[in-house]
Amino acid sequence: MNKFAVIIHLYHFDLWNEILSYISKYNFDIYITMPKHNIKYINIIQQSYHDAIIDIVENKGRDILPFLILINKYDFSKYKFVLKIHTKKSPHTSIGNSWRTGLYNTLINDNVINNIIENLDNNIGLVGSNKYFNKNFFKNKYLFGNKRKYYELCKYYNINKKIADDIEFFAGTMFWISSKIIHKFKEYKIPNNLFIKETGQIDGETHHAFERIFIPFVKQQNMEILKI
């Protein structure tokens, strides 16, 4: 049994080979979500990983809603940690590509996987990049236009106000997440009604607010965050 899995939201298929260059050397179980316009690429994916689990999802909620759908559909309790990544381009900013590769380089390497993730204690809930941690990356502008939806989500997930007000997140929403936290998310129904169809929004929608939920959610479970 593999100890680790990777969940990939493959919206931009042209980045598949780039992702392969990072993950192919490791014995991950592979779970992929992608919109229906990428169905034509399934055979190419299966040539690389014939046992990859591939789910076609609605183009809605960016990488967040597909992640929630996937973790509710499959059993991740057999893994210690799961890597969540996606094909981030962020064309609205000049740092989109370097942001993506910076996260890949930080999260997917021998030191992290063999020395850090392998040996983490059972109270670590989330592991992310220190460089792209909000206090370093966004210079204290944590909520932007997401305040109302952020606090709506905090209420939905029973996150207390003290934790909710201490806003911390990993910008880019890529991280290692404990299967214990995945299990806790599965105790809640997916707030599907809060997500709208994709229109290229750069801020203010549920998927942007949800990016800020993961660390508070982990803290609410009395588990810890590790920045690498």
For residue 184, what are the contacts with CB-CB under 8 A and spacing of at least 6? 217, 221
The pLDDT value recorded for residue 199 is 56
In terms of DSSP H, where are the helices of 114-146?
134-137
Q: What is the mean pLDDT of residues 128-147?
A: 71
Across the chain, mean pLDDT equals 89
Dihedral of alpha carbons 221, 224, 95, 110, sign: negative
Distance CA 83, CA 192 (A): 23
Alpha carbon 97 to its chain centroid, in Å, reads 17
Ordered domains of the chain (ranges, CATH): 4-227 (3.90.550)
The pLDDT value recorded for residue 10 is 98
% of residues, the chain, pLDDT over 70: 86
Distance CA 216, CA 147 (A): 14
The pLDDT value recorded for residue 7 is 98
The pLDDT value recorded for residue 116 is 92
pLDDT digits (tens, 9 = 90+) for 150-187: 999 999 999 999 999 988 999 999 999 999 999 999 99
Strand 81-86 with 175-178, pairing? antiparallel
If phi > 0 it is left, if psi is from -120 to 50 it is alpha, else beta; for residue 150 that is: alpha
Burial of 158 (0-12, 13-18, 19+ CB in 10 A): exposed
Torsion of CA 51, 100, 144, 162, to 10 degrees: 60
Are the CB atoms for 140 and 199 separated by under 8 Å?
Answer: no
Burial of 123 (0-12, 13-18, 19+ CB in 10 A): exposed
Distance CA 74, CA 154 (A): 25
pLDDT digits (tens, 9 = 90+) for 39-78: 999 999 999 999 999 999 998 888 999 999 999 999 999 9
The pLDDT value recorded for residue 139 is 47
